[in-house]
Amino acid sequence: MAEENNKKQSNFIKQIIDEDLAGGRFDRVHTRFPPEPNGYLHIGHAKSICLNFGLAEEYNGKCNLRFDDTNPLKEDREYIDAIIEDVHWLGFDWEDRLFFASDYFEQMYQYAVQLIKMGKAYVDDLSAEEIKEYRGTLTKPGKESPYRNRSVEENLDLFERMRKGEFKDGEKVLRAKIDMKSGNLNMRDPVMYRIIHASHPRTGNKWCIYPMYDWAHGLEDSIERITHSICTLEFEDHRPLYDWFLDQLGVFHPRQIEFARLNLTYTVMSKRKLLRLVEEGYVSGWDDPRMPTIAGMRRRGYSPEAIRDFADRIGVAKANSVVDFALLEHCVRDDLNKRAERRMVVLNPLKVIIDNYPDDQVEELEAENNPEDANAGTRTVPFSKIIYIEREDFREEAPRKWFRLAPGKEVRLKHAYYITCNEVIKDENGQIVELHCTYDPQSRGGWTQDGRKVKGTLHWVSAAQAIPVEVRLYEHLFLKENPEEVEEGQDFTANINPNSLKIIKTALAEPGLKEAKPGQRFQFLRQGYFCADLKDHSAEHPVFNRTVTLRDSWARIEKKLK
């Protein structure tokens, strides 16, 4: 199959790795996934995880999980635990290689001292605003700080005192001494350390100076002897700086390769924005099933297999683009179709009385669990005189080509019998309250010897045995394909879809769903794939999230493209 081929297909990253191995630059492949624990992982991170762990697997190499925990102001233990859970759940294993950038703080400090001694770094007293102003722009060269030419001795002394806590936040920084006129703004004496008197989740109050990302990141890769440091495109302009640091220090030098980050329609991906959605109450938390987080998708019912398949299909590229959300949903359906057992649940019930069915009889009818999987076996569902069908499946005045139930029409009840509608009962407001039907006892199992045609097949539940369940239906969290497309003065929250969550409290399910376990996935016939909620579901109060509908818009899009 096409997907199988894709997996082994080459891409520009593998070509670079192949060249490095053939040319002898490296004799092994060692990658890493380096999240900052300042939020939950999202589907974009999943792409990076699949890529980094996938390459290690393919080249018989290794992949580290490393927390880039260099900013104590934004980072939290909760995020560390969630990230560990999510990467494991996706199906990847870092063995004993779980690392923290904060474990390298002492070594980074020593490297900084080394640069100071070489005359390549200095302590600056300019304020943050002044540094920004002195930095210049793309068209205007930067200006050198008046503190730039402090002696090595003075810099060593001041840097040590910075570490000891003698100065307040923002009073001093350590900067690399490179070139204030460089065409690359990243090379204009970037800040390496800033003073933050804050407790760190792992190092506590041991440090009050913290390394900047651009100083720390390349060193972390070097210390772990990462061969291929794979990152997103926005770091391309930072590469000369990472190269400069590593070359000055003469330490192990990984190769950095940049690829385009994943963007998805109807989705915001930056952690800063996801945090706003959580903090401002637009969603119930990081794991809200509408969130593009791995925790949210897990709760929604997406499988790790589907997410990994998605990552394979989108591949890696050097140019930014936006992937259609429908492709992700297509991967989810594709996977769940093969393994989700079928069940019958009526969301909006309409009572049907089968007049010619014996009053107290209950039949246990056999129903296949999954037509796509011969090993999935069968179950039984009770059938009796009073059943419920979906209100939507009945029309008093049926339009042309209406194959569902209507007065005088015959339909098939899935796994059961043919029924014909004879009478519609309404209340004083004209609302339909029940239907009277007759069944054909010869049609048990859904066919008759005379071979007469019945086009519509409806799902149903038996009234006496059905159990009430709560069903949560979701739409995209944003109304626009590009949530950032807003009027002046608005931000992405203006595009939030007010109908992204619909809670259905009327639903009735076949009794076997009593046994559903949190996280278990099903196809509810004709309604979509559903997952028992990981947090709120219990046998007493069953709750199912709709993972995805059955309609595959991607298949249509793909057809059009061909």
CA distance 290 to 69: 27
Can you tell me which of 17, 29, 31, 45 binds ligand ATP, judged by CB under 6 A? 45
Judged by DSSP in three states, 532 sits in strand
φ/ψ of 420, rounded to 5, equals -125, 135
* Residue 337 interacts with, from Mg ion, ligand ATP, none (CB under 5-8 Å by kind): none
The answer to whether 232 contacts ligand ATP (rule: CB under 6 A) is yes
Residues 33-52, interacting with Mg ion (CB under 5 A): 36
Residue nearer to ligand ATP on the CB measure, 293 or 495: 293
Residues 383, 416: contact at Cβ < 8 Å? Answer: yes
- Stretch touching ligand ATP by CB under 6 A, among 262-270, 366-374, 403-411, 473-481: 262-270
For Mg ion, the closer CB: 74 or 313? 74
**Residue 373 binds to ligand ATP (criterion: CB under 6 A):** no
Question: What Cα–Cα distance (Å) separates residue 129 from each residue in 133, 174, 197, 421, 535?
Answer: 6, 15, 20, 78, 46
270 binds, among ligand ATP, Mg ion, none (CB under 5 to 8 A by kind): ligand ATP
How much helix, strand and coil, in percent to the nearest 5, is found in the chain? 35, 25, 45
- Which option in ligand ATP, Mg ion, none does residue 160 bind, with CB closer than 5 to 8 A by kind? none
Query: What phi, psi does 163 have (nearest 5°)?
Result: -65, -35
Rounded CA separation 63/29 (Å):
9
The window from 3-11, 32-40, 338-346, 532-540 that contacts Mg ion (CB under 5 A) reads 32-40
Token match 């591949």: residue? Answer: 315
Which one of ligand ATP, Mg ion, none interacts with residue 70, CB within 5 to 8 A by kind? none
- Cβ 216 to ligand ATP, closest distance in Å? 12
With beta carbons less than 8 A apart as the criterion, state whether 38 and 72 touch: no
Query: Does residue 270 bind ligand ATP (CB under 6 A)?
Result: yes
Catalytic residue from among 36, 363, 434, 475: 36
> Could you tell me whether strands 501-504 and 528-532 are parallel, antiparallel, or unpaired per DSSP bridges?
unpaired
Nearer to ligand ATP, 271 or 290 (CB): 271
471 within 8 A of 507, measured Cβ to Cβ: yes
Asked if 229 interacts with ligand ATP (CB under 6 A), we say no
Residue with tokens 């194959």: 403
Q: How far is the CB of 561 from ligand ATP (least distance, A)?
A: 23
Q: Which of 6, 16, 20, 36 binds ligand ATP (CB under 6 A)?
A: 36
**154 given a catalytic annotation:** no
Total binding residues toward Mg ion, as defined by CB under 5 A: 1
Does 459 sit near ligand ATP (CB under 6 A)? no
Q: Which listed residue (143, 261, 276, 444) binds ligand ATP by CB under 6 A? A: 261
Q: Which does 298 bind (CB under 5 to 8 A by kind): ligand ATP, Mg ion, none?
A: none
Partner from ligand ATP, Mg ion, none contacting 382, C-beta within 5 to 8 A by type: none
Nearer to Mg ion, 42 or 172 (CB): 42
CA-CA distance, 555 to 76, in Å (whole number)? 41
Q: Any residues with CB less than 8 A from the CB of 236 and at least 6 apart, and which? A: 258
Q: Residue written as tokens 């018989």?
A: 60
Q: In whole angstroms, what is the distance from residue 421 CA to residue 101 CA? A: 70
Nearer to ligand ATP, 273 or 444 (CB): 273
User: Annotated catalytic, 36?
Assistant: yes
Selecting among 271, 308, 409, 521, the annotated active-site residue is 271
Contacts of 28 (CB under 8 A, 6+ apart): 59, 61, 62, 227
- Least separation in angstroms between residue 457's CB and ligand ATP is 42
Would you state the structure tokens that stand for residue 296, as one six-digit string? 């949210």
Contact status: 337 vs ligand ATP (CB under 6 A): no
CA–CA distance, 203 with 186 (Å, rounded to integer): 29
Interaction between residue 47 and ligand ATP (CB under 6 A): yes
Query: Which of ligand ATP, Mg ion, none binds 48 (CB below 5-8 Å, type-dependent)?
Result: ligand ATP
Q: Where are the alpha helices (DSSP H) in 24-121?
A: 43-58, 77-90, 105-117
Asked if residues 283 and 290 have their Cβ atoms less than 8 Å apart, the reply is: yes
| Among 261, 351, 379, 395, the one annotated catalytic | 261
**Residue 256, H or E segment:** strand 255-259
Q: How far is CA 448 from the centre of its chain?
A: 48
Indicate which residues carry an active-site annotation.
Answer: 36, 261, 271
Which residues in this chain contact ligand ATP in the complex, by CB under 6 A?
34-36, 44-45, 47-48, 231-232, 261-262, 269-271
- Interface residue list for Mg ion (CB under 5 A): 36
